[in-house]
Chain A
Amino acid sequence: MKESSSDASSLIRVENLTVAFGAEKVVEDLSFSVRSGQTLAIVGESGSGKSVTSLSILRLADISGAHYLGGRILFESTKGEQDLLALSQQEMRAIRGKEIAMIFQEPMTSLNPVFTIGDQIAEVLQLHEGMARKEALAEGVKLLKMVRLADAESIIGRYPHQLSGGMRQRVMIAMALACRPKLLIADEPTTALDVTIQAQILAILRDLKDSLDMGIIFITHDMGVVAEMADDVVVMRKGHKVEEQPVEAIFTNPQHLYTQTLLSAVPKLGAMNGEDFPKRLPVSVYDEAGAHTEGELRVQNTANYEAAPLVRVEDLVVRFNVKKNFLGRPTHRVHAVEEISLDIYPGETLALVGESGSGKSTIGRTIQQLQESQAGNITFNGKRFADMGRGEKRALRQKIQYIFQDPYASLDPRKTVGFSIAEPIRTHGILHDQELIEKRVSELLDRVGLSASHGRRYPHEFSGGQRQRICIARALASDPELIIADEALSALDVSVQAQIINLFMDLQEERGLSYLFISHDMAVVEQISHRVAVLYLGQIVEFGSRRQVFENPTHSYTQNLLAAVPIADPHQRIMMAINEADIPSPIRAVGNEPARLSHREVAPGHLVANQ
């Protein structure tokens, strides 16, 4: 562990780095090193200081107010070894982008929307390499081809909004590599992308590292991506390095308790093979006292398929107009949902999985009446939406609750969480007496693992996991029968995610709740759901019990989706031939209707679209 730090051939050596914002130390006494051709992954949950570390190497952290209290960052630049912390911002500018490049999580906000892709790549080359514009544009085309953008000549003239998320991230990589940097820092570069696109980007990065012989510092929270990419791993927690090991050793023989609990919290695809029902698993929790296990192992056999379905969706069609001609008639539409039919039974968790543009969220929003449908029926407890009056539709919003992806964004920042939790109670007139409402709010807070006094605080005073608990308490307040959870776990750290999954399952056991669980995370879906519908471009390609879909994926899209999920095991790297195609857009010209898929039943209850 010590040897690598003092390696003389290293490209960059971080020694005893301590970074503070104000009085608070966010990184303390951190040391690691990276060689050329090596990928070092820095893993940690939110607040671990991993991003501050990368921003400190680029000296961007002090621009936003950080102080370096100690340590050195020794970088082997073209001018010989330099301590980056001792350089002026002026001197750093010559290194940034040229010798050390960085790619960020959000490719849309990292590209300037008013300039073409060509302008932005050429700018880097003109600035650092002194190229003429024409020359720079020609080099730009080469770079775009290097990141496997097939149509590079035309992409160079396009604007960022005309590209998909995966293409934008490839453009960002091309820009970062424009000056052949020695070191590339990738800060969660694939977190905002779909799994199949993530697999493409990871493959590109891996190949380029070898061909350009760069060092990569890869910052991520995803253990699957670590297993996929890293040679060596640094695990961080609350600003401290807790462990540093080669990637195999981290997964096979984690030394620190924290690493062990972190790994045990990661849901592993395939871990549920042979199980008929979802399982509530005990979670290990790491805190100052050490690690301990919480909760019981229980088979979640709550779904009641004998009863009539709680919700029945029949031939639902939802389309949005996106382009209009000068007469105001639509010319292009997003075909978000195309004739989808599904049932949700009492006590059941039905998962909708798919990538962006698959229509999974639109289905949830339509059931919640946040979105109008163009055709089809939704039935709740045997009564069709179309036959309901205004009052009945309003009352339905008591019976169906929605949990959003970002708990912070879905709580009013100006209201106490107590107010937010009481809102459904007041809105539907469930309780009128102020004292009874307060009592109910305390009970709800208590139920989701918070205390009654938290009700007087504001959303910004809580952590991400606590906020999602608050949102769950709010959803429970009106005593619903169905909860629609729209990517409700994706913004959370894995250890918190494991706890929230268990909370969902406990509530289902207690109250017989049904969930419509919308997610892109196959491993979580495998653990939590009774049945799964796989969506692609607004249509169901495969639908069946969890076991049928995960153990016998029959449609090629489902197979691809499962193969692209990074597994937290370095021996199981993605070996499939990466599909270079982008996810097609669901936008179509009016009159150009998509073909409707027909389904065949390969096993009882297991529907697969014909190809």
Chain B
Amino acid sequence: MAESMKKKRSFDLSMELIVGATLLIVILLSALFAHQLFPDGVDKIDLLSRLTPPFAKPEHPLGSDPLGRDVLARVVAGGRISLLIGVTSVIGAVTLGVTIGLIAGFYRGITDMLMMRFVDIQLALPFILLAITFIAILGGSLINTIILLIVSQWVQYARLVRGQVLALRDREFILAARAIGVKDWRIIVQHLLPNLTGPVIVLMTLNVANNILLESSLTFLGMGVDPTIPTWGGMLAEGRSYLQTAWWVSVFPGLAIMLTVLGLNLLGDWMRDQLDPTGKTSL
């Protein structure tokens, strides 16, 4: 039975890897080389051909927006900021949240109490309130948007990881490591961290999509990046008022977000399976 399970797993694993990685590489490369792919310009306004439907004119294969800008070019270019914000903010939040969750869960006591009270306070604070305060003090910019997203989201990871650590720290293999005399930081890095990657990866992939959309609401409120720079979230918001007449303005950036999240999910699943030698799916 073990033999057959293993075979099945390695098949699934390669499918997830191939599809997920291909999707992400295509999206990433086209975003990076958007200006080479579309030398005519991503921001070129052509009011004469505004709101061209898709597949109607060869110069606008996916149609054009209310200002006559090419939807395809903007979707491709929009990936730059959206991916940058989505991915870096999640990586930042994971690094901060996982570290604090590990320390709080492992050492318990006063460290844990102080950290978790702080986490609770922040969780109780509405995001918009935090965002307005933050941007009002520091001003809106790409870096500040990323920092804001990190600050608002690390708490989720801290809570999640702390809970996992509390369950793991009394398991016998952690006790066994202590009995051997393994130093605390090695127990944390070598034994605890690898055993809690599953749920963290799942939360990460979900949050990338979330952050791409949050960026657009920040831009909408005038707090995010420069509104003239194309982003998926921004395009989605712009296209909303034309949904009845020109669906393509918002559907294509939405599709781009969906494919990115799908790619990340597949890759995340693959990574989780890779990290778990038993091949059991936990969460």
Query: Which A residues are closer than 8 A to B by beta carbons?
Result: 21-24, 368, 370, 394-395, 397-398, 401-402, 404, 406, 409-415, 423-424, 427-428, 458, 460-461, 471, 474, 478
Contact = CB atoms under 8 A, between A and B. Distances in A.
A424 B180 contact: yes
A559 to B, nearest CB: 34
A395 B186 CA distance: 17
A458 B280 CA distance: 13
Contacts of B172: 404, 406, 409-410
A410 B186 CA distance: 17
B182 A458 contact: no
Nearest to B276: A414
Contact of A423 (B171, B180, B195, B275): B180
B4 A412 contact: no
A410 B175 contact: yes
A23 B4 contact: yes
Interface string B165-186: 0000001110111111111001
Contacts of A406: 172
Contact of A370 (B173, B175, B182, B276): B175
Interface residues of B, number: 24
Nearest to A411: B173
A424 B275 CA distance: 23
B31 to A, nearest CB: 35
A471 B175 CA distance: 13
Contacts of A474: 176, 180
B191 interface: yes
Given A23-B1, A394-B181, A412-B194, 9 more contacts: A370-B178, A401-B179, A401-B180, A404-B175, A409-B172, A414-B277, A458-B277, A460-B278, A478-B180
Contacts of A21: 1
Contacts of A370: 175, 178-179
A423 B178 CA distance: 11
Contacts of B178: 370
Nearest to A405: B172
A375 B181 CA distance: 23
A410 B277 contact: no
Contacts of B191: 412, 414-415
Contacts of B175: 370, 404, 410
Nearest to A461: B2
B10 to A, nearest CB: 15
A313 to B, nearest CB: 17
A468 B104 CA distance: 32
A69 B64 CA distance: 63
Contacts of B182: 423, 427
Contacts of B195: 412-414
A537 to B, nearest CB: 24
B173 A413 contact: yes
Interface string B1-45: 110100000000000000000000000000000000000000000
A304 B190 CA distance: 40
Given A22-B1, A404-B175, A412-B191, A428 B181 contact: yes
B180 A397 contact: yes
B179 A402 contact: yes
18 contacts: A23-B1, A397-B179, A397-B180, A397-B181, A401-B179, A402-B179, A404-B172, A410-B173, A410-B176, A412-B190, A413-B173, A414-B195, A423-B182, A427-B186, A428-B181, A458-B277, A460-B278, A461-B2
B205 to A, nearest CB: 20
Contacts of B2: 461
A582 B183 CA distance: 42
Interface in B225-252: none
Contacts of B179: 368, 370, 397, 401-402
Contact of A427 (B173, B183, B278): B183
Contact of A409 (B173, B276, B278): B173
A22 B4 contact: yes
Interface in B141-190: 171-173, 175-183, 186, 190
B contact face: mostly helix, strand, loop, or mixed: helix
Interface in B176-214: 176-183, 186, 190-191, 194-195
Interface string B73-95: 00000000000000000000000
Nearest to A364: B179
Contacts of B186: 427
Nearest to A419: B190
Nearest to B197: A414
B277 A402 contact: no
Nearest to B280: A460
Contacts of A428: 181
Contacts of B173: 409-413
Nearest to A402: B179
B189 to A, nearest CB: 12
Contacts of B181: 394-395, 397-398, 424, 427-428
Contacts of A427: 180-183, 186
A22 B179 CA distance: 40
A410 B178 CA distance: 11
B115 to A, nearest CB: 20
B215 to A, nearest CB: 35
A461 B181 CA distance: 26
Given A410-B173, A413-B173, A460 B277 contact: yes
B206 to A, nearest CB: 23
Contacts of B194: 412, 414-415
Contacts of B4: 22-23
A424 B175 CA distance: 13
B1 A24 contact: yes
Contacts of A368: 179
B172 to A, nearest CB: 4
A413 B198 CA distance: 13
Interface centre among B4, B175, B176, B182 (most CB of A within 10 A): B176
B177 A412 contact: yes
A22 B1 CA distance: 7
Nearest to B275: A414
Interface string B272-283: 000111100000
Contacts of A414: 191, 194-195, 275-277
B1 A409 contact: no
A409 B167 CA distance: 13
| Centre residue among B179, B194, B195 by max chain A CB count within 10 A | B179
In this complex, the member of B180, B183, B190 whose beta carbon has the largest number of chain A beta carbons within 10 angstroms is B180
A507 to B, nearest CB: 18
Q: Which of B4, B172, B178, B183 has the most CB of A within 10 A?
A: B172
Contact of A458 (B176, B177, B183, B278): B278
Interface in B256-283: 275-278
B278 A411 contact: no
> Interface centre among A23, A427, A428, by most B CB within 10 Å?
A427
A201 B195 CA distance: 40
A129 to B, nearest CB: 40
Contacts of B176: 402, 404, 410-411, 471, 474
B200 to A, nearest CB: 14
Nearest to B279: A460
Nearest to B193: A414
Nearest to A393: B181
A415 B183 CA distance: 17
Contacts of A23: 1, 4
